[in-house]
Chains A and B, each alone.
Chain A
Amino acid sequence: MTVELSKHRELGLTDAEFELICEKHGREPNAVELAMFSLLWSEHCSYKHSRKLLRRLPTEGERVVMGPGENAGAVDIGNGHAIAFKVESHNHPSAVEPFQGAATGVGGILRDVFALGARPIAILDSLRFGELDSVRSRHLLDGAVRGIGHYGNSIGVANVGGEIYFEPPYEHNCLVNAMCVGIAETKDMVRAAAAGTGNAVVLMGASTGRDGIGGASVLASAELGEGDEAKRPTVQIGDPFEESKVLECCLELLEKGLLVSLQDLGAAGLTSSAGEMASAGGVGIDIDVARVPLREADMAPFEIMVSESQERMLGVVEPARVPEVLAVCEKWQTGSAEIGVVTDSGRFRILHGDEVVGDIAVEDLVDGCPLYDIEPVEPEGWVYGNEATLAAGASAEDTLLALLGSSSVASKRWAFEQYDSVVGSRTVRRPESADAAVLAIPEAGNAIGVSIDGNGRRVACDPYAGTVEAVLECAQNLACVGAEPLGVTNCLNFGNPEKPTPAWQLDRAISALADACNALGVPVVGGNVSLYNEGPEGPIYPTPVIGMVGEIPDPEQVAGSAFATEGEAIALIGPFEPTLAGSQLAKLRGELGAGLPQPEVEAVAAACATVRDAVREGKLSSVHDISDGGLACALAECSIGSGIGSKVDVAPLRERGCSPEEALFGEGTGGFLVSGDRDTLDSLGATAIGKVGGSTIEIAAGDRSFSVGLDSAEGAWQSLADRFSSSP
């Protein structure tokens, strides 16, 4: 078997990388080996442009049970239990085929979590599309939401939260990031490292077909462009029923102690899962492709090795226990086959019956890819477009309604009502009823708060400040439900790292992520990097999506975001000094530009602690963090949620140096809008600004007092569904 010289380029390898492969390998790789190298040396699998930068992140902490390098991260939640979680992207498949792309994104992240032996209990998602007035964006949104719902609803894992932003730079390259949270008994958890020479390698779950071939290299590690429709066959097809069976099967196998290790098959299929298991365990592995159950009889060995067919898991099993493993698979009516063996050779050998069709040193395949230094160059000023959609001089009333109705601020009820948020009977706070999702953990006698966040527009304005803000936003969301952060996962969605501006954005964002997590004392226990997110018009907004999990001692003591009762006081907590830079209002006015104020991390952390303690002590009747659309929008959301109006004067923000407009609609980190008993709020050092009551939202800002009826505010805020269905 010889290979044409240009073949490696088609598979995404550079000439230099191909030469390095030949040198390490001692000869030119054959077709099977080249296919395997091209995938594991792809950006998606090797992290070759990001791995060096990721070393900056803090990954250790007292509560860390599993950190980066495993299928997912995990933190201790007490009473012998751990919470496993991870966020991952499925951007390019979703841009090509949104339903299956998003569905299999959910399927993949679920497998990462149950591969540790954790039962998935929640899904959150973070989505980005172009503006809603584009047909393409509505098609992608509709498909992605249906796909996420289809997979999660069918498998019975609650979808408890998330976020959706609509911005022009995502028009061609949407983002679909899915996060899964699971619970495990720590003693039953399993790692991915293969071990034990002579142990059997068992493939479980679905049979292997031709779907998703080349997904990691052709689709995930290159920019999108013309002719992407032709890439549809590289998108995988999801089957949540199969996953449901293989999930229950794997959890039963682990509970019975029948597996030495377990790994899911994701990008690059058998090649990456078997290769990474062998690499992590410092062993070799032989795989016989003739023993892999196939959907199509005539598949070539290389196709079997790189297929990304979904719903498959790879386990290492002691030979004597193989029959028991196969019996459990039989019970769950899911496929199983002993396809290989762990060896001490350090080689990854591919056999087809008795014939050796590929033979690669595990180390060369998994760790041989060169790691590149990126070449960041700070661009001069704002590099994205921004057209005004709100008339200059619009009144404060019209501005508030325009902001509430803007697709990124508006309620996402249309989307989250398509997801089962209650299955599992753990959901203490459902979507939009609090700033973070809250899940009861009766196994440990407590609860967790979970948040996912990442405002790409603000990161585009200032990659460092914007990323710090994303981490702080998660911490603030957790504080709102009384949760103390335990760990962070992240999905870094950026453009082409070989270009100077995306390289600079990536470099700054990772430094910010490291600094913010260090300052908060929260370790990064896992994550994912998605690069080459570009369309013909250029890169996406740099979008680090942060997922954070925190501990809540008592699920009974969790505030909601809606005001509670007529007459209670409204106040501000935190070092909130909003400006219009990077705000939703600046976007509507076409005034976006480079630069954001640098967040004061310590002061925000202190405010989070104040709020967290107050929530835990039941001192606040409601708490909402101030983010998109500023104080006026936060106030409207708290009123809409309760059906009770509010009346405030923003004078205290004016005293902090804000203009009336900044006080009303400016954005910035560190602000909490709380309600409760006036004396209690005073004792917390909160700044009183008004009262709950009436049927209007009334705001005084210097000489600009105005009011908006609760009905019209709600109409604007709940306009997403109408705009989705009535658009041409």
Chain B
Amino acid sequence: MIWGVLQFPGSCDERDALHACSLLGEARLVWHETRDLSGIEAIVIPGGFSYGDYLRAGAIARFSPAMEAVAEFAAAGGPVLGICNGFQVLCEAKLLPGALLLNEDQRFLCRQVDLVADGPKSELTGDLSAHRPPEALSIPVKHGEGRYWAPDEVLDAIEAGGQVAYRYAPGQNPNGSARDIAGVSNEAGNVVGLMPHPEHAVDPLTGSTDGLRVFEAMGRVAA
């Protein structure tokens, strides 16, 4: 399986995401100016501050040539995982519903949190949510703009449609996200975005290997 990790000027976590993907297959960086995704079977849009994010997180990156190619890739059913800034970019690009707002207390926050996989519809998270009670994944969050928001009718719709991929475990919502939502998928289930950073949870030495589960679930969509 060949993973492509997008790299924008201002990306921070692309090397960590590349490492995480390389534990599961072949992985390569995709420069933001290219439209060529040939050979790539799954896309990761990593965390960071693409193009500085001085306008609004992800607002500029969505117009990059690489993101135009990712939109086509996603439309054709290719798996796309957006992490943190990548989630913001996917929301800006309208590939995912909702938006990420400033954290409730207006501060950047870095903390290990527990996530529960939620959406039974998505093949991405299906096996994780099959456990009852859902198995918790210990994964760090680190962001200033991670409060998931969407109009109530959209929240109702994505919950009904099984598009809530991950929720913060009860009492651990770090940023005021609506309905404890940490990650969502599109209707088809092949595009997923989440604020926590699975690429920083792939080694027991640095705290947890639960993040690998998120990448593995993604790989199953591609297969």
Contacts and interface: CB of A to CB of B under 8 A. Distances in A.
B76 interface: no
Interface stretch (A70-78, A201-209, A421-429, A624-632): A421-429
B17 to A, nearest CB: 10
B153 to A, nearest CB: 34
B223 interface: no
Interface stretch (B45-53, B129-137, B155-163, B212-220): B45-53
A123 to B, nearest CB: 13
B12 A156 contact: yes
Interface string B1-31: 0000000011111011001000000000000
B200 A423 contact: yes
A153 interface: yes
Contact of A418 (B53, B108, B197, B205): B108
Given A156-B48, A241-B9, A422 B202 contact: no
A423 B49 contact: no
A154 B197 contact: no
Given A417-B109, A421-B110, A154 B142 contact: no
A154 B15 CA distance: 15
B13 A156 contact: yes
Interface in A319-337: 332-333
B111 interface: yes
B199 interface: yes
B107 interface: yes
A423 B13 contact: yes
B61 to A, nearest CB: 12
Contacts of A440: 205-206
Contact of B142 (A248, A422, A426, A555): A422
B206 A418 contact: no
A643 interface: no
B104 interface: no
Interface residues of A, number: 33
A244 B108 contact: no
Nearest to A427: B206
Interface string B139-166: 0101010000000000000000000000
B203 interface: yes
A426 B206 contact: yes
Contacts of A241: 9-10, 49, 51-54
Interface in A400-417: 416-417
Nearest to B48: A156
B80 to A, nearest CB: 22
Nearest to B51: A241
Mostly, the B contact residues are mixed
Interface in A221-243: 239-242
A711 interface: no
A245 B9 CA distance: 6
Interface string A136-160: 0000000000100110011110000
B142 A153 contact: yes
Contacts of A242: 52
Given A422-B200, A425-B206, A440-B206, A332 B9 contact: yes
A155 B10 CA distance: 7
Contacts of B197: 422
Nearest to B174: A417
A240 B11 CA distance: 12
B206 to A, nearest CB: 6
A332 B9 CA distance: 7
A240 B54 CA distance: 11
Nearest to A154: B49
A150 B53 CA distance: 12
Contact of B110 (A146, A245, A417): A417
A430 B140 CA distance: 12
Nearest to B105: A725
B26 to A, nearest CB: 19
A557 to B, nearest CB: 11
Given A241-B10, A244-B10, A425 B19 contact: yes
Contacts of B144: 153
Given A241-B10, A241-B52, A245-B9, A420 B110 contact: yes
Given A241-B9, A420-B108, 16 more contacts: A146-B107, A156-B13, A239-B52, A241-B10, A241-B51, A241-B52, A241-B54, A416-B110, A418-B107, A421-B142, A422-B110, A422-B197, A425-B16, A425-B19, A425-B206, A555-B205
20 contacts: A146-B107, A153-B142, A154-B12, A156-B12, A240-B49, A241-B49, A242-B52, A244-B10, A244-B12, A245-B10, A333-B9, A417-B111, A418-B110, A420-B110, A422-B110, A422-B206, A423-B16, A423-B142, A424-B15, A427-B207
Closest 8 CB pairs of A and B: A156-B12, A241-B52, A422-B200, A420-B142, A425-B16, A154-B49, A418-B108, A422-B140
Interface of A: 146, 149-150, 153-156, 239-242, 244-245, 248, 332-333, 416-428, 430, 440, 555-556
